[in-house]
Amino acid sequence: MAKKADQYFRVDPWKVIEEGFDPAYARVSESVFSLANETLGVRGCFDEGGSVDSLRGAYMNGVYDIQALPKSYRGIVDKTHFMIPAAEWLATKITADGETLDLGKARFHSFLRVLDMQSGTLERSFVWQTAGGKAIRITFLRFLDRTARERAYQRVTLEALNAPADICFASGLSFDVMHEGYQKCFWQTPRLQASDGMLMAQCETAASGQTVFAGALLSLAYKTEACTDERGAYLCARFTLEKGQKTSIDKRVVILYDGTGGETLWSHGLKALQRSREVSLDEALNAQRAYWDAFWRTLDIKIDPSDEETAEAVAAEQQGVRFCSFQLAQTYNGGSMRHNIGAKGLTGEAYNGHAFWDTEACCLPFYLFTNPEAAKSLLMFRYNTLPQARERAKMLDCKGACYPIATLNGEEACSLWQHASLQLQPSTAVAYGIWHYVHVTGDEDFLWSMGAEMLLEIARFLASRVEKGAETGKYGFFGVMGPDEFHMMVNNNAYTNYMGKRTLSLAADTLTEMRSEKPQAYALLAEKTNLSEDEILSWAEIADGMFVPMGENGLIEQHDGYFNLPHTDIHSIPVSQFPLYDHWSYDRIYRSDMIKQPDVLMMLYLYNSSFSGDVKRVNYDFYEPRTIHESSLSPAIHSILAAELGKMEEAVRFFGFATRLDLDNYNRNTREGLHITSIALAWVNIVYGFAGLRSDGEGLSFAPRLPERWSRLSFSILYRGRVISVRMETEKTAFALAEGSDLPVRIYGRECVLTGTECFFPAGG
Ligand code: BGC
């Protein structure tokens, strides 16, 4: 692995701490200090702005605009959509004796920024030393309400330390926000109002026609002046802060997008703002703490070091794991089935806010075992966007439904045709997600009411995209790009063929079972979709005849011709050349055997129980040294397989990378936003990697393997109305049901029944 960790933030079990400020690291910090509540998200940017390098992003899930693209060949998208920054609600301007606060220019000391994962708050404080010799301590606190998700809060506290200061304090709401990539503000037709401690602003997007309302209540003990500009509304107060005097200004904000607009939204916004009067910032803060308390009570993962020597490294891992769970739950926790999980969540503009196949392939297990309702909502998003997937299949001259590689609203938004047209993994991942959800939760109603229809349409798509090789006479997918995006337009990509095979046989089995078990529902579905029994038979026939290129020793060739590609020694690439997409020409990455992320290994991970240990070992040993992990999804998958193969040192090394990917800026691109979907894999890494959970076989099985540097690992998962608590120690693992009825499971391959009483299993089985 050629990547290195930056060590910038202070390690703490529950906080991320920045002591002192490095302007060169400003954007990385902004990403790491992001807050979200599923609906709203905001980067950790400075409230007061200034000349520090910054991406001032405050985003709303599902709020985007659309841009037409030059008309190109058939099948290549001719428009795209992308998340845009929404109302800037933190806007603050502070002047003291006529000098404006700007940390890019001013003198200051005692800078401290803290993200507290037990309260979901971000606090930043420092002492500003003005050119005139005044020392003013300033503290900014912010948080986004976890329960009333249209609400956000800011508190600014000023304290004159050594002398009186004449302060001018301005606070605003503004839609004058630039999308950095397009260098354009997408908001138009503003309606603005500022008066009596209250700000209101409403704007509409240029092309998607979405309207957003923003309102704020300011608690200022001083007389204010109100003003508006092109797209913003502001209140300003002037006052003198006596020596030793401290004052706080609370801002309660409402940001609303409810699908309405005009007068209707304005009045909904006003009402929501009035309702927010009923709760003070301190009350909201207490509720926030209670929310996170309850979250951590069930879902915390606790790691203890085995001795003094490992304590520091383990403390960093502990912080990393909590940071990942925290950021993932902030981004999505089942609050809405209209939204999905953007690869960067609500933390930056890279990837345009789009959700990828990552949701089903990487994030779903976290929700399946911590919040199954949220897992269902994610699949409902796919069901609700089935019409767009059907349209996409047509554009590609295929039948059925082709799910997009990148989307916010169900339409394909990826303008790189190689990815949009050649990647079949979004569709096979949705099928896998449906199967995994039903398999884990037992929610057959979902399968018959929605899952079966999606499976049918995906199978139809695959059957219309598959072809027979002229020489082999076997079925395969030609002209595709598998998960390894460093090889495009390849034939018989093993992952695509294998996932296609499994999807087609899953669809055939599901519909056959539906025909006999749920004849009425089947008849309705068959009529709605014009499904024939011959079609189902053809899926089974294709699945049986699918080419999966496995040699006698179990080594699987990633795609036709892969073994003949020139070799790249990945360790010879200097760290300064990462990320490669910024330093290598686009075509250069396609010309060797270097792979971006697990491809063959990905299918061995997803359908784990279908492959022997020997097959996993031979493929891991071959592909791992060729993998550059340029996708953040990569290290955790490697760690899980390494743990299964008993390569514990490697498993721990990859885990460190996966779990601190953003905290340590491993991929040198955290500045663009957090890798939210790979953050999900940090949890998976613990539960599937070190506790050895497998959920793709009969029932659940565990094979705990505790890394040497840990003395204990404990966590809980939810499963069909039960809470399973697991406590791994050096010599043994204890399993118990904290809630729910007895559960048969397999531990180290042996059948046993979990009950309310702790039972112990010696390490290694
Ligand atoms: C990876 C894809 C992934 C996307 C979003 C890319 O770098 O290669 O597999 O879907 O990032 O996370």
> Would 570 be classed as within a structural domain?
no
Which residues lie below 8 Å from residue 662, measured CB to CB, with a gap of 6+? 31, 32, 323, 670, 674, 675, 679
For residues 374 and 363, give the distance between their C-alpha atoms in angstroms, rounded to a whole number: 11
For residues 456 and 524, give the distance between their C-alpha atoms in angstroms, rounded to a whole number: 13
Cα–ligand 1 centroid distance for 102 (angstroms): 37
> Would 91 be classed as within a structural domain?
yes
Bridge partners, 108 (sequence order)? 128
Longest dimension (CA), the chain: 87
Residues 80 and 191 in one domain: yes
Cα–ligand 1 centroid distance for 358 (angstroms): 7
Report whether pLDDT(2) > 70: no
Name the percent of the chain in helix, strand, coil, to the closest 5.
35, 25, 40
Q: Of 548, 565, 585, at which residue does a domain stop? A: 548
Report whether pLDDT(427) > 80: yes
Q: Of 491, 519, 548, at which residue does a domain stop? A: 548
- DSSP assignment of 590-641 equals GSSS-BSS-SHHHHHHHTGGGS-HHHHHHHHHHHGGGB---STTHHHHHHHH
CATH assignment at residue 393? 1.50.10.10
What pLDDT is recorded for position 6? Answer: 85
Please name the amino acid found at residue 4: K
Per the structure, the complete domain to which residue 493 belongs is given by 385-548
Number of other CB atoms surrounding residue 110 within 10 Å: 12
Which residues lie below 8 Å from residue 452, measured CB to CB, with a gap of 6+? 510, 511, 514, 521, 525
> Would 28 be classed as within a structural domain?
no
Report whether pLDDT(680) > 70: yes
For residue range 369-412, what is the model confidence (pLDDT) as tens digits?
999 999 999 999 999 999 999 999 999 999 999 999 999 999 99
> Would 141 be classed as within a structural domain?
yes
The model carries a pTM of: 0.96
Angle between helices 372-384 and 452-465 (to 10 degrees): 50
Q: For a ligand 1 pocket test, name from 403, 606, 633 the mutation site with the most ligand atoms within 8 angstroms of its C-beta.
A: 633
| Closest Cα to atom 1 of ligand 1 | 631
Report whether pLDDT(575) > 90: no
The terminus-to-terminus CA distance of the chain in angstroms comes to: 31
Asked if residue 208 lies in contact with residue 66, where contact means CB atoms within 8 angstroms, the answer is yes
Asked if residue 344 lies in contact with residue 674, where contact means CB atoms within 8 angstroms, the answer is yes
* Count: domains in the chain: 3
Please name the amino acid found at residue 349: E
Q: Apex CA 352: angle with CA 349 and CA 353, to 5°?
A: 90
CATH assignment at residue 712? 2.60.420.10
Cα–ligand 1 centroid distance for 357 (angstroms): 8
Report whether pLDDT(5) > 90: no
Residues 277 and 404 in one domain: no
> Would 593 be classed as within a structural domain?
no
> Would 190 be classed as within a structural domain?
yes
Please give the positions annotated as active site. Answer: 485
Q: For ligand 1, say whether the CB of 356 is within 6 Å of any of its atoms.
A: yes
> Would 592 be classed as within a structural domain?
no
Number of other CB atoms surrounding residue 293 within 10 Å: 11
Measured from the Cα of 596, ligand 1's closest atom is 8
Residues 272 and 389 in one domain: no
Report whether pLDDT(490) > 90: yes
Q: For ligand 1, say whether the CB of 150 is within 6 Å of any of its atoms.
A: no
Q: For ligand 1, say whether the CB of 631 is within 6 Å of any of its atoms.
A: yes
Q: For ligand 1, say whether the CB of 677 is within 6 Å of any of its atoms.
A: yes
Q: Apex CA 677: angle with CA 672 and CA 679, to 5°?
A: 85
What pLDDT is recorded for position 147? Answer: 92
Asked if residue 391 lies in contact with residue 397, where contact means CB atoms within 8 angstroms, the answer is no
| Confidence grade of residue 65 (pLDDT, cut at 50, 70, 90) | very high
Cα–ligand 1 centroid distance for 631 (angstroms): 6
Cis bond before residue 704 (omega within 30° of 0): no
Measured from the Cα of 485, ligand 1's closest atom is 8
Report whether pLDDT(1) > 90: no
CATH assignment at residue 242? 2.70.98.40
